[in-house]
Amino acid sequence: MSYSSLPEDVLEHVFSFVQSDKDRNVISLVCKSWYEIERWCRRRIFVGNCYAVSPRMAIRRFPEVRSVELKGKPHFADFNLVPEGWGGYVYPWIRAMAGGYPWLEELKLKRMVVTDESLELIAKSLKNFKVLVLSSCEGFSTHGLAAIAADCKNLKELDLWESDVEDPSGNWLSKFPDTCTSLVSLNIACLGSEVSFSALERLVVRCPNLRTLRLNRAVPLEKLAHLLRQAPQLVELGTGTYSADLRPDIFSNLAGAFSGCKELKSLSGFWDVVPAYLPAVYSVCSGLTTLNLSYATIQSPDLIKLVSQCPKLQCLWVLDYIEDSGLEALAATCKDLRELRVFPSEPFGDEPNVSLTEQGLVLVSEGCPKLESVLYFCRRMSNDALVTIAKNRPSMIRFRLCIIDPQTPDYLTLEPLDVGFGAIVQHCKDLRRLSLSGLLTDRVFEYIGTYAKKLEMLSVAFAGESDLGLHHVLSGCDSLRKLEIMDCPFGDKALLANAAKLETMRSLWMSSCSVSFEACKLLGQKMPRLNVEVIDESGPPDSRPELPVKKLYIYRTVTGRRIDMPGFVWNVGEDSALRLS
C-alpha cells in the first residue's frame, strides 16, 4: 500500500502532529491530494508581512483556520524610521475574517495599526474568540478594549505588549461581565493611565486559571500584596510601580504575599524601584526563570544581590547599571541562562555613565554554557573579545551587538571589527539573527556571506565601503529572509545583480544608502512579484532623480501593489508611470 492511497482521515490525523509552518508547507507540495487534505486541516497561519498575501487568498486556501498571526510594519519602524500613516492596517483582515473565519480563536498582531472599529468587529463577529495579542501595535483606545472585554465571552488571553493605547478615561476593565471567569493571561503593562483597582481585583478573584498578570505603572505597590494574595497561583507577574514610602508594614505585607506565590517563574515591571523593597521578592527568586528588570533604575550592588539568588534564571533583561561586576555575578550563579539583554540607561549621553564594557559579555559567554541569545548595548568592543565570545559559545543563535557610537573601532587596536564578527559567524554555525555595529569594512560582509549560511535576519548600520558588501550578503546568505540596512554606502549594482534573491526573502529595508531612483524603477519593472516601495516625505522621488532614494522597502508579494499607500510612498513597479499621485 503506497502512502498516497492512505485514506484521507488517516493522512489528516498524521498531519495533525505536524505543527511547524515550514513542514506543513513541505507536505502541501508533495502532491495534489496532500495539498488538498493539508489545506483543510491547517489550523494556524503565520503571515510575516501582511502585504505579502491578501486576506481573501489566505482564507480561500485555508478555510478552517483557528489562529492567525500577522505582522505589519518593517522592524525599523520600532526606531522611528517609518513615518506615521505608512500602513499596516489590520481592518481589511478582520473584515475578511469576520465572514471567512467565524470560529477564529486567536489573533496575534505585531506592528500593526489596529482601530477601535477593528476591535469592535472582532467582539461582534467572532463568537469563539479567545486570544488577542497586540504587540507593538497602535491606533486603538480603551473603547476598543471595552468591546473585547464585554463581548468575548470565552476570552482567555489579552496581551497588549508595548502597544500605544489611547486612554480616554473609561472604566473598561469593569466591562468584563461577572460571568467571565476564563482569563488565563492579562497584560496591561503599557497602559498609561489608571485602571479601576476594584474592577481589576474582582476580575482576578473570579478567574482561578489566571497565570499571567502584568500590571501597569499606575498600580501602586501598596496594592500589589493584596492582588497577590488573591492570585497565589500566578506564574508570571508584572508589578506596577515598585516604589512606596519606606514603611515596615508595607514591606512585610508584600514579602508575605510574595512568599505565598509558589508558582511564580517570571517577574517584570519594577518601575521607579526603591531598592529597599527588593528583598520582598527574595522568596520567589529560587524558582525564577525570567526576570525583566529593563525598567528598573537600580545600581549594580542591588542587582547583584537579586540575581545571585536566581540560580534557575534562563532569561534576563536588564539595564547597563548591572555593569561588568554584575554580569560576573550572573555568570557565576545562573548556569541555565539562555538569553541576556542589556539595555542602555543613557543612550544619548556623550560619555559612559556606567562601568559596563565588553568584559561583561565575555564573562557571561564563559560562564553560561547555554547562552544562545544576546542583545547587548555597550560603548566599546574589541576583536579579541568577539573572537573569545564566538569560541566560547558556538551554539549562539541570536547575536545583536549595539556599540552606541557609530563606527567605533576596536578600542585596543583601533582596527575595524570585521575579524571579530567574522569569528562570530564562523564559529556559530546555527546563527539565525545578527545585528552589527562598530567600524566595519566590506570584509565583514565577505565573512558573513561565506559563513552565515543559516542566517535569517541581518541588521546593519553605518557599515561597509562599497556595493561589494551588500553583494556578499545577498549572494552568500542562503537562508536570509530579512535584511535591514541604514546609512551604508550600498547602491544600485549589488541590488540589481541580486534581484532574484529578493524574491526568496520576506523583505529588504534600505534607508540613507546610495540607491538611485532609476535602479528602483528597474527593479520594480524587472520583478513583478516584488513591491518596490520608495518612501519620501519631501516629494516625488522622480523629481530629484540625481539624489539617492531616502528610504526603500522591498518585499515579495503575490498580491501586487497595495491599495492603501499614503502620499509619501511610491510603488515603482511596471505601471508606475500610470500611478496617480
Partner 1 sequence: MAFERDLNLEATELRLGLPGTQESRSNKRSLPDMNIVDDQGHRSGSSRVISNASDATKSEEETTPPSKTQVVGWPPIRSYRKNSLQAKKSEAEASGIYVKVSMDGAPYLRKIHLNIYNDYPELLKALEDMFKFKVGEYSESEGYNGSEFVPTYEDKDGDWMLVGDVPWEMFITSCKRLRVMKGSEARGLGCAV
DSSP string, 441-454: -HHHHHHHHHH-TT
Pinpoint the alpha helices (H) of 438-516: 442-451, 467-476, 492-497, 499-502
Question: At its nearest, how many Å lie between partner 1 and the CB of residue 386?
Answer: 18
Q: Is 68 in the site for partner 1 (CB under 8 A)?
A: no
Q: Is 295 in the site for partner 1 (CB under 8 A)?
A: yes
Residue from the set 45, 52, 81, 267 that interacts with partner 1 by CB under 8 A: 81
Q: Which is nearer to partner 1, 404 or 552 (CB)?
A: 404
Sign of CA dihedral 32, 34, 36, 38: negative
Q: Which is nearer to partner 1, 120 or 533 (CB)?
A: 533
CA nearest 521: which of 508, 534, 509?
534
Q: Which is nearer to partner 1, 310 or 439 (CB)?
A: 439
Q: Which is nearer to partner 1, 232 or 352 (CB)?
A: 352
Q: Is 412 in the site for partner 1 (CB under 8 A)?
A: no
Backbone torsions φ then ψ of 249, nearest 5 degrees: -70, -40
Question: At its nearest, how many Å lie between partner 1 and the CB of residue 146?
Answer: 23
Q: Is 294 in the site for partner 1 (CB under 8 A)?
A: yes
Q: Is 359 in the site for partner 1 (CB under 8 A)?
A: no
Yes or no: say if 231 and 201 are a contact pair by the CB < 8 Å rule.
no
Question: At its nearest, how many Å lie between partner 1 and the CB of residue 571?
Answer: 21
d(CA 503, CA 180): 46
Q: Is 345 in the site for partner 1 (CB under 8 A)?
A: yes
> Applying CB under 8 A, which part among 38-46, 243-251, 493-501, 545-553 lies near partner 1?
545-553
Yes or no: say if 445 and 470 are a contact pair by the CB < 8 Å rule.
yes
Q: Which is nearer to partner 1, 89 or 462 (CB)?
A: 462
Q: Which is nearer to partner 1, 380 or 506 (CB)?
A: 380
> Applying CB under 8 A, which part among 14-22, 79-87, 362-370, 519-527 lies near partner 1?
79-87
d(CA 162, CA 133): 11
Q: Which is nearer to partner 1, 40 or 343 (CB)?
A: 343
Distance between first and last Cα of the chain: 61
Q: Is 268 in the site for partner 1 (CB under 8 A)?
A: no
Residue from the set 15, 93, 140, 377 that interacts with partner 1 by CB under 8 A: 377
Q: Is 164 in the site for partner 1 (CB under 8 A)?
A: yes
For 408, other C-beta atoms within 10 Å of its C-beta total 19
DSSP string, 146-160: HHHHHH-TT--EEE-
d(CA 97, CA 309): 48
318: β partners: 293, 342
d(CA 539, CA 545): 12
The number of angstroms, rounded, from the C-alpha of 85 to the middle of its chain's C-alpha atoms is 21
Q: Is 54 in the site for partner 1 (CB under 8 A)?
A: no
Question: Binding marks (x or -) toward partner 1, 473..512, rule CB under 8 A?
Answer: -------------xx-x---------------------xx
Q: Which is nearer to partner 1, 64 or 78 (CB)?
A: 78
Number of residues near partner 1 (by CB under 8 A) = 53
d(CA 283, CA 123): 41
Q: Is 190 in the site for partner 1 (CB under 8 A)?
A: yes
Residue from the set 169, 249, 350, 558 that interacts with partner 1 by CB under 8 A: 350
Q: Which amino acid is at 317?
A: W
> Applying CB under 8 A, which part among 29-37, 61-69, 75-83, 391-399 lies near partner 1?
75-83
Q: Which amino acid is at 324?
A: D
> Applying CB under 8 A, which part among 12-20, 255-263, 351-359, 426-434 lies near partner 1?
351-359
**Cell 478552517 belongs to which residue?**
64
Q: Which is nearer to partner 1, 36 or 346 (CB)?
A: 346
Q: Which amino acid is at 140?
A: F
Question: At its nearest, how many Å lie between partner 1 and the CB of residue 352?
Answer: 4
Q: Is 401 in the site for partner 1 (CB under 8 A)?
A: no
**Cell 476570552 belongs to which residue?**
155
Tell me whether strands 315-319 and 339-343 are parallel, antiparallel or unpaired: parallel
Question: At its nearest, how many Å lie between partner 1 and the CB of residue 196?
Answer: 23
Q: Is 435 in the site for partner 1 (CB under 8 A)?
A: yes
Yes or no: say if 286 and 261 are a contact pair by the CB < 8 Å rule.
no
Question: At its nearest, how many Å lie between partner 1 and the CB of residue 512?
Answer: 4
Q: Which amino acid is at 561?
A: R
d(CA 480, CA 558): 19
**Cell 473584515 belongs to which residue?**
95
> Applying CB under 8 A, which part among 91-99, 143-151, 200-208, 354-362 lies near partner 1?
354-362
Helices (H) and strands (E) in the chain, counts: 21, 23
Q: Is 353 in the site for partner 1 (CB under 8 A)?
A: yes
Q: Which is nearer to partner 1, 330 or 439 (CB)?
A: 439
Q: Which is nearer to partner 1, 217 or 472 (CB)?
A: 217
Q: Which is nearer to partner 1, 297 or 543 (CB)?
A: 297
Instruction: Tell me whether residue 350 is exposed, middle or buried, using C-beta atoms within 10 angstroms of its C-beta: 0 to 12, 13 to 18, 19 or more.
Output: exposed
What region, left, alpha or beta, does residue 471 occupy, with left being phi > 0 and alpha being psi -120 to 50 degrees? alpha
**Cell 578600542 belongs to which residue?**
411
Q: Is 162 in the site for partner 1 (CB under 8 A)?
A: yes
What residue ranges bind partner 1 (CB under 8 A)? 76, 78-81, 136, 162, 164, 190, 271-272, 294-295, 297, 343-348, 350-355, 357, 377, 380, 402, 404-408, 411, 435, 439, 459, 461-462, 465, 486-487, 489, 511-514, 538, 547-548, 550
